[in-house]
Structure 1
Amino acid sequence: MSLRLSHTTWDALDPYAVAEFWRALLGWEIQEPECYKPGSDECYLVSPDGYTILFFKVPDAKRVKNRAHMDLASEDSTRDEQVERALALGATLAEDRREDLGWAVMQDPEGNEFCILR
């Protein structure tokens, strides 16, 4: 008897807006396009490998640091190019650890942390 990971859920005040940020950043496809629109309570994205993220509407804003986050590595450019691209898409740089640890701690438009690795 075992379990498999179905998907990962991220709470969001505006699921569509947060999903659009991540879709632009990751280049993932929309899953369930009939639900993927402004004002939706949930928006799904799926990776080329079939991994799914759900952005789910909640009434309260993020208040503390995430207990889990995504670590991202570039497949076709430098880490610094990806940091600049994330900033242009609406991310913020939360902590710059590129010189000592090799990654940049970023936040999406609703403050969810993620790292871009060397």
Structure 2
Amino acid sequence: MSTDFSIKSVGAPAAIAVGQPVSDATSNAVATQLPANQAVTAADPSAGARNDPQPASDSVSHQAFFDQAAASIVFQVVNSNNDQVVEQFPDDATLRRRAYFHALDLAKDQPARPLATDLKA
């Protein structure tokens, strides 16, 4: 069994025309007239759609700060009425883990102290 292999391009990809299939049901369909209260209209494409949840009130503020122990930027959504954190990214457990590994990285860069014990016996 060989352990070497190579992947080579065979040539230019072929262009394939893709068309929408038309079924008999759609071609023989009857146009439907609905009352105005049941009609559905298409959404305006110029209006921007948002996927992120918006707060119900304006009583929240957004904050960002640099956590030196974790060496990372923290983003928070804080309730302005009682100064409680509503959301935080990264979460506290991630910040503690990053701070631990950051401390280990800093400890690796420091020179090792010589042994203070007498090696002669």
TM-score (norm. length: structure 2): 0.19
TM-score (norm. length: structure 1): 0.19
Taking CA–CA contacts closer than 8 Å with sequence separation of 6 or more, which of the two structures ends up with the larger relative contact order?
A: 1
Report which of the two structures shows the higher radius of gyration computed on alpha carbons: 2
